[in-house]
A and B are shown apart, each in its own frame.
Chain A
Amino acid sequence: MRTKRHCRYPPPPSDQTPRRIGEDRISALPDALLIHILSYLPGIDAVKTGVLSKRWSRLWTWTPNLVFDQLGEWDEKSNNFVPFIDAFLVLHSSPKIQKLAIDMDYKKRLHLDNSMDEWLRFASGRAAEELNLQLSELGYVHSWDFRGNVERYLLPSFIYSNNSMKRLDMSFIDVQPSDAVSWPILQSLSIRSSLLTESTIQKILLGSPHLKILELNNCEGFDLLRIDSKSLKRLVIHGIWHPSGGIDDVLQISAPYILSLEISGHFYKRRVQLLDVSSLVDVVINLQVWVEDRRCVLVKYSNILREILRKIRHVEKLNVGACSMKANSDIGNSCAPDVLEEKKKCKILSMMKEIFWAFLVSGRKNLILNVEPTRRNISDIACFLQTSPKLESLQINLASFHGTSRKVVGPQKTSSSCLQLQFDPESYATLESYWTPKNRFSKHMLAQLRTVEIVGFNKTHDSNGIVIALVRSLLKHAKVLEKVAICAPEIEYDSDNTLVARKFLTFRRASRKALVQFS
């Protein structure tokens, strides 16, 4: 692949004629560079370049990336999508391709399945390194809009034996290898909306000795995920697909060699239990669960979270989102999930009694909290800090629940002099109480904290008083603190920054080196 790019353009004559306006610079590029440019285009755009001029007529047939997205330009013309791909592949010239990516709606029909088999055969034959098949069920809307057993495309058997694939991404596809799987150079595998049995997963792991990343999004069919593979470094489990099953339905994960774990998304009533994750270095936990509106069930869920936190005490880097729940009654509504979150947000963390936190003292050094600081979860933040005596770096994302940056209500251009520096003594007092000498943890708390980063600080938001109280508390107690970086994207005027910075300067610091920075 690299050799093509090494074809050098012969040096231009030293007396260069001045460039005229209206010169066709692009066609003067060598073939390899034009093909490289075409490789960034989806199939439908690449093929159009064939009629530009004689120079261009065949170039598109050499593109290494074959990308077909039905949502692209096919809205009214969707019955042409399949014949388009067929014709494109027939004319393609290069013996080796880099990637085949298809994104389309799927409804089981024989001739469609046959076409897809042929496309996959083409990709295998041209030694594709990356295969991306994103099918979506026609009419499928939300992940919790479950509708019984649907028929997916069955991955053909010749795919399970492939020596060129490094990356495989599949969505809404039946993965049922009948014999052994052989993917000797596969490094990354992502499967979404599939029914996978435990034996299928074991076959895959056995047949992929170099697999580094495994992602299972909205998959079902397994109760125990046992990963003995020493090559796998990262595991992502994003939600499950079928909202049935009771609260005693457990998904157990045993992966003693993985370094990075992410558990996020909806788990409905399923419990997630970690068995052996002794090599973990970084974890992201962002669970959403679904319960009926009963308080005792809430307690059960906080136990689940507590168990998870207990198992990952040794992990150095933790990124945790405010775990939230959806009450059963909401499912009847057709509200968008975002609206539901706002209406019935209920933090599992707040349910945890303080005494439980005592057993969760961890060795973590990096902590990322995705929270909305409210009076209710000041204690949560404090509890996390209490149980992280070795903490060196703290990052707090004041983003909305879904991790996107908070929207400012209306432009604030005229308010440069009206910066609300709400300093809320009440929340400050609450926070302080968590690390006064009476509290058994306070002696060691924040002793190693070096850097703090607060992202998404918004000058007009209600919570900034609490954030200021938090920063003040950290400055007061963290003895080796070096830097507090406050990222406030909504603040436009330097004068605002100086106002807040000046306020922060008035706070007492335990560490002489401590520096507060705005960006």
Chain B
Amino acid sequence: MITLRSSDGETFDLDEVVAVELQTIKNMMEDGCAESVIPVPNVEGKILAKVIEYCKKHVKSTVKAEEHALSDADLKAWDSDFIKLDQATLFDLIMAANYLDIKSLLDLLCQTVANMIKGKSPEEIRQIFNIKNDFTPEEEQEIRRENQWAFQ
């Protein structure tokens, strides 16, 4: 049993078989520097809770396979519910998944953000993500001219 402690002091108990989904934790366990309670200073409690929820669902274990076997289709459906998040949580999760090195979660989240960008014009993308256009009018002119081929 591994215990993780978030930046705001919340603790979470995990079976080892779930903990190894978090590559960072797995490396610590293998290097022998995993103590009884592992601090995760970059990640808030409510984000860490969501990360662990994901890992529990996706754990690859032959023992669990019989009891909680979720078909690929079911897992995909669960994932598409999981990513219905506000932007703040989404980006917090991306940072957490990156720090804790959980490839499948990071891929899922990045794909989600990519889907928000796909098919949109630059103006729309700026609006969705509150990106400030910091080009001067001259610079903007230059960029548009250079990238004309991209905006037929």
Contacts and interface: CB of A to CB of B under 8 A. Distances in A.
28 contacts: A5-B106, A9-B42, A9-B98, A25-B87, A25-B88, A25-B91, A25-B130, A26-B91, A29-B95, A37-B113, A37-B117, A40-B111, A41-B117, A41-B118, A44-B150, A45-B118, A45-B119, A48-B120, A48-B122, A48-B125, A48-B150, A51-B147, A52-B125, A53-B132, A53-B133, A53-B135, A54-B134, A84-B150
A6 B106 CA distance: 12
B4 to A, nearest CB: 16
A110 to B, nearest CB: 22
B142 to A, nearest CB: 10
Interface in A1-59: 5-6, 8-9, 11-12, 14, 19, 22-29, 33, 36-42, 44-45, 47-57
Given A33-B110, A37-B114, A52 B95 contact: no
Contacts of B130: 22-25
B46 interface: no
Nearest to A14: B7
Given A37-B114, A48-B125, A24 B150 contact: no
Contact of A80 (B111, B118, B152): B152
Contact of A51 (B42, B111, B118, B122): B122
B110 A37 contact: yes
Contacts of A295: none
Contact of B131 (A5, A27, A41): A27
A51 B143 CA distance: 7
Contacts of A25: 87-88, 91, 129-130
A84 B148 CA distance: 10
Contacts of A55: 134
A5 B134 contact: no
Contacts of B42: 9, 11-12
Contacts of B125: 48-49, 52
A33 B131 contact: no
A118 to B, nearest CB: 16
Nearest to B126: A52
Nearest to A5: B98
A84 B151 CA distance: 10
A125 interface: no
A57 B88 contact: no
Contacts of B135: 51, 53-54
Nearest to A77: B152
A8 B101 CA distance: 10
Interface in A295-321: none
A87 B149 contact: yes
B144 interface: yes
A221 interface: no
Nearest to B87: A25
Interface string B35-64: 000000110000000000000000000000
Given A12-B42, A47-B147, A83-B149, 9 more contacts: A8-B99, A9-B98, A25-B91, A25-B130, A26-B129, A29-B91, A36-B110, A45-B120, A51-B140
Interface in B77-131: 87-88, 91, 94-95, 98-99, 101, 106, 110-111, 113-115, 117-122, 125-126, 129-131
Given A9-B95, A11-B41, A80-B152, A24 B147 contact: no
Contacts of B120: 45, 48
Contact of A26 (B111, B113, B134, B144): B113
Contacts of B119: 45, 73
